[in-house]
Structure 1
Amino acid sequence: MTQIVQSLAEISKPYDALFCDLWGCLHNGVAPFPEAVAALQAFRASGGKVVLLTNAPRPAKFVIESLERMGCPKDAYDLVVSSGDAAQDAMFAGAVGRKVWHLGPSKDDGFFTEIPAEWQGQADIERVDFDDAEGIVCTGPFDEINEVPEDYRAKFLLAKMRDLPMLCANPDVVVDMGDKRIYCAGALAVLYEDMGGEAMYFGKPHPPIYDMARRKLAAIGGVEDGRILAIGDGINTDVPGAAGEGIDCLFVTGGLAHDQFGADQKNPDPELVRAWLGARQTDPRYTIGTLR
């Protein structure tokens, strides 16, 4: 049965590293949460390492730039590892061919232009029109504020008829940007699969992003899995991802599912929490209202 806690400090002593989610835990897409920032700073001050593990479809460089624009201090984390990083590896390895159609907003162009050092000098990936594509790289809707997955049904039918594989750079289905809920690449990939298309995933809860996080963490001081705590608000991403990797998880109820646990977001109703988790047949080791 999950243990409901009031602070990260209450349970952090057995852990040497955190794999912490961003949206819904550290920020809301517009501004960082001060208490969450303070909690991560305190963990680092005690000697722990903080890896921000995010399903953002952009390489870590661009995620860090976004955090800086929001005003998130650099001393709140050691590393950023993104779904974009893991998906890039697959793309440059040719997972969906060398000629790809990019489905996503222009803000994700860095996925193609920021080539990792290990792929420099390798065969190019060429972005082409849909009709010339060997595969699809999906980083989200073109217009994430106004579009919904159904807007792409006709295009996906054509893609399925051509057996185009889709690389999904962000398995998240939705995120909350301020007070607005928007669809992510994961929602488009789910629709494509429901229509019979093939989609590949590299972010949470899938192993590639955790493998990459471990490698990068090892470069600054390795940590055993039993000494890593995952933090996240995604019941379909963060929680099963941690379970699949044998990592303890702190589930944040005040994120995506904030309206399910009573009126006090910081203090979720224990009965509602356990009933909600039980209905989903999952049991993270810890639960907290908001990261603090």
Structure 2
Amino acid sequence: MTRLIQNLSEISTNYDALFVDLWGCVHNGIKAFPEAVKALQDYRKGGGIVILVTNSPRPWRSVAAQMLSFGVPEDAYDAIATSGDSARTAMHMGAVGQKVYHIGTPDEIAVFFAPSDILDNALEIETVPLEEAEGIVCTGPRDSMADVDVNRPEFLYAKQKGLKLLCANPDIVVDRGETREWCAGALAALYTEMGGESLYFGKPHPPIYDLARRHLSKIAQVDDAKIMCIGDGIGTDVMGGIGEGLDVLFITGGLAAHEFGNDPANPDPERLKTWLADQNLSPTAAISFLR
């Protein structure tokens, strides 16, 4: 039975560490949520450890810089585990070959394809046209507002060549302020639906949780029973946390806010209960917004 709470402090003393989602929980892609920042700062002041676990395709240093610009200070967390770092490690190990076709925005190339600072003897990756590629790396759509079906022609060609697609961000959609945008996960889902093979490294898949635990182990040894995941994505944060055997705090005021009534700050308990039953998932607790 999922417990509906009003403040993180009601249950946070039961945990030594938090794995916290970013987008929709700590910021909205434009600015920080002050109450969420304060809740994490207070938790850390009480001795708790905060590992930010994000499906951002960026390396952690880039995410840290972005968060500062949004108003999330460095004292709100201890470390950052990104889908980008997990995916980049696999890419530099040759998961989709050495010559890859990139799908994403031009500014992501310099960040994602930079030399690895994690691996020794990392494979040097070359971006090439689709016709020359050994695999595909998708950091996101070229146009986050365009229908993902625009990728069908090149995906059909790639599938026929037997190319694997490395997905740097399994999220399907994200809300930037009031605007909903497509993410790399939507393209990877389409490729899989068409019969291609997609490789995932962010939530809800194990590699990013392994990375988060490695970050945590550098600070303290914490049993899984003392770790709680926090997030607003039912198919990423909640499913991933439960799949890892961890407790989960579901943020109802994020991606699925419309499912629980007209007031995101006060989710209807019965609608929440019914919706979670339909999802066949039962997070430990739920809260409207992180605070």
2:116 corresponding residue in structure 1: 115
Q: Deviations over 1:109-147 (max 9, x none)?
A: 21111522424x433111111111000000111122x32
CA distance in structure 2 between the partners assigned to 1:114 and 1:185 by the alignment? 22
Q: Counterparts of 2:106 and 2:54 in 1: how far apart (Å)?
A: 19
CA separation in 1, counterparts of 2:146 and 2:63? 23
Equivalent residue pairs, number: 290
Alignment of 1:162-177 (within 5 A): 162-177=161-176
Tell me the TM-score normalized by structure 2: 0.98
Distance in 2 (alpha carbons) for counterparts of 1:268 and 1:219: 37
Q: Does the CA-based 8 Å contact 1:168-1:202 persist in structure 2? A: yes
Q: What displacement does 1:166 show?
A: 0.2
Task: Tell me whether 54-63 or 105-114 shows the greater mean CA deviation.
Answer: 105-114
Partner of 2:137: 137
Q: Is the 8 A contact 1:173 1:184 kept in 2?
A: yes
- Sequence identity percentage: 54
Matched residues in 2 for 1:191 and 1:183: separation?
A: 12
Separation in 2, partners of 1:161, 1:253: 41
Q: CA deviation at 1:164?
A: 0.7
Deviation digits for residues 23-43 of structure 1, max 9, x if unmatched? 110011000101100100010
Alignment RMSD, CA only? 1.0
- Residues 208-259 of structure 1, C-alpha deviations (whole Å, 9 max, x = no match): 0000111111011121111101000010001111111111000001000011
| Contact 1:136 1:165 (C-alpha < 8 Å) held by counterparts | yes
Which consecutive aligned stretches of 4+ in structure 1 deviate over 4 angstroms post-superposition? Answer: none
Structure-1 residue corresponding to 2:14 = 14
Deviation at 1:262, TM superposition (A): 1.1
* Contact 1:60–1:81 under 8 Å retained in 2: yes
Distance (whole Å) between structure 2 residues aligned to residue 153 and residue 56 of structure 1: 24
CA distance in 2, matches of 1:30, 1:192: 30
Write out aligned runs for 1:41-60 (5 A): 41-60=41-60
Matched, 1:182 2:181: yes
Q: How does 1:253-268 map to 2 (within 5 A)?
A: 253-268=252-267
Distance 1:223 1:43 in 2: 16
Aligned letter for 2:135?
Answer: G
Q: Aligned equivalents of 2:82 and 2:217: distance in 1? A: 16
Residue identity matched to 1:233: D
Calculate the TM-score normalised by the size of structure 1.
0.97
Residues 46-77 of structure 1: CA distance to partner in whole angstroms, max 9, x if unpaired? 00010110000111111111101112111111
- What amino acid is the match of 1:283? S
1:277 is matched with 276
CA contact (8 A) 1:248 1:284 kept: yes
Aligned residue for 1:237, secondary structure, equals helix
- CA distance in 2 between partners of 1:127 and 1:70 (Å): 31
2:251 matched residue in structure 1: 252
2:27 corresponds to: 27
SS in 2 for 1:191: helix
Separation in structure 1 between the aligned mates of residue 67 and residue 80 of structure 2, nearest angstrom:
10
Per the alignment, residue 90 of structure 1 pairs with 90
Unpaired stretches in structure 1, ≥5 consecutive residues: none
Which amino acid letter does the alignment assign opposite residue 9 of structure 1?
Answer: S
Q: Which runs of 5+ in 2 are unaligned?
A: none
- The amino acid that maps onto 1:177 is R
In structure 1, the residue matched to 2:201 is: 202
CA shift, 1:106, in A, is 2.3
